[in-house]
Amino acid sequence: MKQSARDEILSKLKSAPREAVASRPDRPVLKELSLTRDELIEMFSKNLVQETGVVHRVKDREQALEKLSQIAQEERLKKVMIATDDVVAPLNLVDWGKKNNVEVMTPQDFGNRDSYIDAVFEEADAGITGADFAVAESGTLGLVHRRDRARLVSLSPILHIAVVPVERIVAIYEQAIEKVFREKENLASQFCFVTGPSMTGDIRGVQFKGMHGPRKVVAILVG
Amino acid sequence: MEIKTEQFSEVAKKALESAQSYAFLKLRANFVHKRRETALSTFPDAAAAQTYGAAIRREAIARLPELLEEFEKNALANGARVFWARNAKEANEYIVQLAKERGIEYVTKGKSMVTEELGLNEALEKNGVKAWETDLGEFIIQLLHLPPFHIVGPAINISVEKVRDLFIEKINLKEPTLDPAQLGYAARLFLRDKFHRVRMGITGVNIAVAETGTLINVENEGNIRFSKSSPRTQVSVMSLEKVVPNLEDALHLVRLLCRNCTGQKLSVYVSMDNTPKKDDEMDGPEELIVVIVDNGRSKIYQDKIAREAMRCIRCGACLSSCPVYREIGGYAYGWAYSGPMGQVLNPLLLGLERTQDLYRATTLCGACKGVCPAGIDHPGLFLQYRAKDVLGEKTFRARKRPGMERSFFRLWTWAVTRPWLWNWGVRTVRPFINKEVHEGVLRKVQGPFEGWFRSRDLPAMAEKTFHDRWRETQESQGRTQEAGGAK
């Protein structure tokens, strides 16, 4: 019987001369680990602002909703697609939308995948999601994609607003990853780090935002 | 993609004649280089971070077969499908078949060097499946039918005017503009429609994690995320050396990759795929298919020295550091991989015979080695390739050097190991050589050595050899001493 490509490739690799696995130097220590929470929040904000992200700090849910109203007005939002995750759901954005004259859609409103995708591509002026992490080391949002946080909500609309409880701030990527991958049997389909708006420098090295994804990213830190 | 590695000299010469690209290249390379330095300085100890990255890649390659098996086991357990391809033909046929079975009219692609290597786009299009490159730079060069100029900025050398004209012709740019952001926006609108209705997305893989079966993509534009969110089928194509032991290693490499590549702390998007979408998710792929590509790598792996090239993480830092790349740009290297990275990889993947110029067009200055986060010794490998080429090693598809050259060096070796003959030769040849010398420098000779002098010169031969002068000094000192003793 002809050997399968898999077995052939692996057996070739295995029969190659082995080299001893050299011991590694110590893993380099990252300075972010020694920072206090306030310093981490400051670092997160500074890093995200550097990437043209906008960071707001509010005290509580009420203020977060006020901030959202303000943004909705400034950006003239008519329709938004929202996640229904553990941060956004308690905000009760459907009611908020009625008060603010913004039509609020959730992926689950659509009976099927295609019509949801039509809406998130064609209709949503903004996507509003929660975030599982805010990583200080580079001003990065950590988003687990799952039933209540569809992937395109934070990607397809030109504006992405992320609401992040301030206790979700971590210093380095490893602290986020450790939590996401804790249950090996129940891994999320996808996890994303997002650092600022979509960007390119592919024409003559001139950088601009909003290549394929959002042109603007707003983080509202709550607490 | 067409392989043009044999035309190195020709294309390089053309690039050197183009004054515009020359000035731009230098400016660009300096800028990228500085950004990289600044980004690396955000590590408490940049050198230690680079060294640790090299250690990860060294270990990953040393443990390659077991890591691949572990990755496969976990990816399968996560619900992905895994296909192994011995070569480009098998990989392409499989992906074409996937597309045909699903009635796919077009796919969107994330920038992926391995699919350039496979010539996947050509294979798809031959079978009636349109492949849209969606990275802005790749999109531009696809419309222009050009190879990538740089691994990170494939179209970085194309003028804004040319992009404008291209977009007017090909994607209905309505208002002519020279603003790169406006041009980018036109491409956004055009490709957005593709993302909207796409049913199969194809991307490369930056890192595969053995411990968890995770696939990692690093990007700035969002086109890869779209290609993994919108369609029902996701095909991730990885060359088999992409695997690392665990997530911590992957994260360290991501930090290094972004800093070395674009001078960012982190790229805008780092997406990690574990499983196909769950039943209750509204987007993401229903099927997650991983294609593991060998295409000559298991053969390279047989050589303990050459396999060092497989550590490469495709950051492109070696390109902007290279004094040769800075002069000639990316086209001359003639294939998917350019700069020192290409000089190290292409000869292994394509064979030493058809890449002759690649491992010789180097100053061996080691700038590439100095910046490499994977710890590759490029100059060392170039010398190895030259040696293998001279010896005509069959496994590396080398051809021996021309008979004339080999005979010459046999004779040369014989002559220079016999001092009397050497000394006699020097005396005999000196007057003939020095006749051609002008202002103390020999710039040109006629005959078989003409080529050597194209970019080099030699000082005139000294009137006396070292031995002659040594003897004279000894003799005159002896006389002085004798004279002194007599005093």
pLDDT at B357 over 60: yes
* Torsion sign, CA atoms A131, A174, B376, B113: negative
Please report which helix (H) or strand (E) contains residue A162, including its range: strand A159-165
Yes or no, beta carbons of A146 and B52 under 8 Å apart? no
Rg, chain B, Cα only = 27
Confidence at residue B487, expressed as pLDDT on a 0 to 100 scale: 45
Better-scored residue on pLDDT, B454 or B299: B299
Confidence at residue B213, expressed as pLDDT on a 0 to 100 scale: 98
CATH number for A35-222 (one of 3.40.50.12780, 3.40.50.300, 3.30.70.100, 3.40.50.10420): it is 3.40.50.10420
ipTM of the complex: 0.97
Mean predicted lDDT score pLDDT of chain A: 96
H-only helix segments in B292-377: 297-300, 317-321, 325-328, 339-350, 367-371
Q: Of A6, A188, A202, which has the smallest distance from its Cβ to B156's Cβ?
A: A202
Angle among Cα B411, B417, B420 to the nearest 5 degrees reads 100
Yes or no, beta carbons of B65 and A14 under 8 Å apart? yes
CB B213 within 8 A of CB B78: yes
Q: Is B132 on the interface with A (CB under 8 A)?
A: no
Comparing CA positions, the residue from B240, B237, B188 lying closest to residue B80 is: B237
B residues 236..295 contacting A (CB < 8 A): 240, 247-248, 251-252, 254-255, 262, 264-278, 280-284, 292, 294
Comparing CA positions, the residue from B377, B373, B376, B399 lying closest to residue B386 is: B399
pLDDT at B19 over 80: no
Chain A interface disruption, residue of B26, B282, B294, B297, most A CBs within 10 A: B282
CATH topology of domain B1-41+307-401: Fumarate Reductase Iron-sulfur Protein; Chain B, domain 2 (1.10.1060)
Question: Minimum mean pLDDT among B97-106, B253-262, B266-275, B418-427: which range?
Answer: B418-427
Yes or no, beta carbons of B156 and A211 under 8 Å apart? no
Comparing CA positions, the residue from B84, B88, B107 lying closest to residue B3 is: B88
CATH number for B65-140+186-295 (one of 1.10.1040.10, 1.10.3720.10, 3.40.50.10420, 3.40.50.720): it is 3.40.50.10420
B residues 299..318 contacting A (CB < 8 A): 299, 301-302, 304, 307
Q: What is the pLDDT of residues B39-75, one digit of tens each?
A: 999 999 999 999 999 999 999 999 999 999 999 999 9
CA dist B444 and B241 (Å) reads 46
CB B383 within 8 A of CB B343: no
Q: What is the pLDDT of residues B224-262, one digit of tens each?
A: 999 999 999 999 999 999 999 999 999 999 999 999 999
Q: What is the pLDDT of residues B155-187, one digit of tens each?
A: 998 999 999 999 999 998 988 999 999 999 999
Confidence at residue A139, expressed as pLDDT on a 0 to 100 scale: 98
Angle among Cα B9, B11, B14 to the nearest 5 degrees reads 105
CB B268 within 8 A of CB B261: no
Confidence at residue B21, expressed as pLDDT on a 0 to 100 scale: 67
Yes or no, beta carbons of A27 and B254 under 8 Å apart? no
CA dist B161 and B296 (Å) reads 40
- Determine the distance in angstroms separating the CA of B2 from the nearest CA of chain A, rounded to an integer: 23
Confidence at residue B54, expressed as pLDDT on a 0 to 100 scale: 97
Positions of E strands within B204-247: 207-209, 214-219, 233-239, 243-244
Yes or no, beta carbons of A174 and B248 under 8 Å apart? yes
B residues 134..193 contacting A (CB < 8 A): 134-137, 140, 153-156, 158-160, 163, 180-181, 183-185, 188, 191-192
Question: Which chain B residues are closer than 8 Å to A206 by Cβ?
Answer: 180-181
CB B347 within 8 A of CB B355: yes
Yes or no, beta carbons of A9 and B294 under 8 Å apart? yes
The Cα-based distances of B170 to B63, B108, B140, B193, B276 in angstroms read: 47, 17, 10, 15, 35
Dihedrals phi, psi of B262, to nearest 5 degrees = -115, 0
CA dist B57 and B249 (Å) reads 9
Q: Of B64, B191, B212, which has the smallest distance from its Cβ to A13's Cβ?
A: B64
**Distance from the Cα of residue B320 to its chain's centroid:** 11
CA dist A171 and A180 (Å) reads 15
Confidence at residue B485, expressed as pLDDT on a 0 to 100 scale: 52
CA dist A3 and A9 (Å) reads 10
CB B374 within 8 A of CB B60: no
pTM above 0.80, yes or no: yes
Query: In this prediction, what percent of chain B has a pLDDT beyond 90?
Result: 78
Q: How confident is the model at residue B17 (pLDDT cuts 50, 70, 90)?
A: confident
Better-scored residue on pLDDT, B404 or A197: A197
CA dist A177 and A164 (Å) reads 17
Evaluate whether B1-41+307-401 and B65-140+186-295 have a shared fold. Answer: no
Q: Around B220, how many Cα atoms within 13 Å sit in the side-chain half-sphere?
A: 23
Question: Which chain A residues are closer than 8 Å to B184 by Cβ?
Answer: 200, 202-203, 208, 210-211
CA dist B38 and B415 (Å) reads 53
* Torsion sign, CA atoms B428, B429, B433, B439: negative
Yes or no, beta carbons of B222 and A184 under 8 Å apart? no
H-only helix segments in B171-222: 180-197
Question: Which chain B residues are closer than 8 Å to A179 by Cβ?
Answer: none
Question: Minimum mean pLDDT among B156-165, B199-208, B391-400: which range?
Answer: B391-400
Which range among A62-66, B22-26, B330-334, B478-482 has the greatest average pLDDT? Answer: A62-66
CA dist B190 and B183 (Å) reads 11
Query: SS3 helix, strand, coil % of chain A, rounded to 5?
Result: 40, 25, 35
- Determine the distance in angstroms separating the CA of B17 from the nearest CA of chain A, rounded to an integer: 20
CB A80 within 8 A of CB A102: yes
Name the residue of chain A whose CA is nearest to B248's CA.
A174
Chain B interface disruption, residue of A211, A215, A217, most B CBs within 10 A: A211
CA dist A207 and A199 (Å) reads 7
| Structure-token pair, residue B348 | 């292994």
CA dist B31 and B22 (Å) reads 14
The DSSP string of B300-319 is: HTTSTTGGGGGG-----HHH
- Determine the distance in angstroms separating the CA of B9 from the nearest CA of chain A, rounded to an integer: 26
Q: What is the pLDDT of residues B304-321, one digit of tens each?
A: 999 999 999 999 999 999
Angle among Cα B175, B178, B179 to the nearest 5 degrees reads 95
Mean pLDDT for B449-460 is 86
* Burial group, residue B138, by CB count within 10 angstroms (0-12, 13-18, 19+): buried
pLDDT at B85 over 80: yes
For chain B, give every domain's residue range: 1-41+307-401, 65-140+186-295, 415-486
CB B214 within 8 A of CB B80: no
Q: Is B25 on the interface with A (CB under 8 A)?
A: no
- Determine the distance in angstroms separating the CA of A151 from the nearest CA of chain B, rounded to an integer: 6
Confidence at residue A1, expressed as pLDDT on a 0 to 100 scale: 57
Yes or no, beta carbons of A190 and B274 under 8 Å apart? yes
pLDDT at B484 over 80: no
Strand pairing of B233-239 and B200-203?
parallel
Name the residue of chain B whose CA is nearest to A183's CA.
B212
Q: What is the pLDDT of residues A87-127, one digit of tens each?
A: 999 999 999 999 999 999 999 999 899 999 999 999 999 99
Amino acid code (one letter) for B53? G
Yes or no, beta carbons of B274 and A191 under 8 Å apart? yes
Q: What is the pLDDT of residues B112-160, one digit of tens each?
A: 999 999 999 999 999 999 999 999 999 999 999 998 988 888 999 899 9
Residues 6+ apart with CB under 8 A from B419: none
Please report which helix (H) or strand (E) contains residue B29, including its range: helix B19-40
| Structure-token pair, residue B67 | 């890591």
H-only helix segments in chain A: 5-15, 37-50, 61-74, 93-100, 113-122, 173-180
Mean pLDDT for A168-190 is 95
Q: Of B49, B163, B230, which has the smallest distance from its Cβ to A203's Cβ?
A: B163
The Cα-based distances of A144 to A116, A188, A192, B225 in angstroms read: 19, 7, 6, 13
The DSSP string of B439-469 is: TTEE---SSTTGGGGGS--EEPPPSS-HHHH
- Determine the distance in angstroms separating the CA of B79 from the nearest CA of chain A, rounded to an integer: 10
Question: Minimum mean pLDDT among A11-15, A33-37, B397-401, B482-486: which range?
Answer: B482-486
Q: Of B134, B184, B284, which has the smallest distance from its Cβ to A189's Cβ?
A: B284
For chain A, give every domain's residue range: 35-222
CB B299 within 8 A of CB B350: no
Q: Of A9, A117, A202, which has the smallest distance from its Cβ to B153's Cβ?
A: A202
CB B22 within 8 A of CB B16: yes
| Structure-token pair, residue B105 | 């009219």
CB A71 within 8 A of CB A218: yes
- Determine the distance in angstroms separating the CA of B1 from the nearest CA of chain A, rounded to an integer: 21
The Cα-based distances of B353 to A92, B359, B402, B408 in angstroms read: 67, 11, 12, 21
Name the residue of chain B whose CA is nearest to A214's CA.
B222
CB B333 within 8 A of CB B377: no
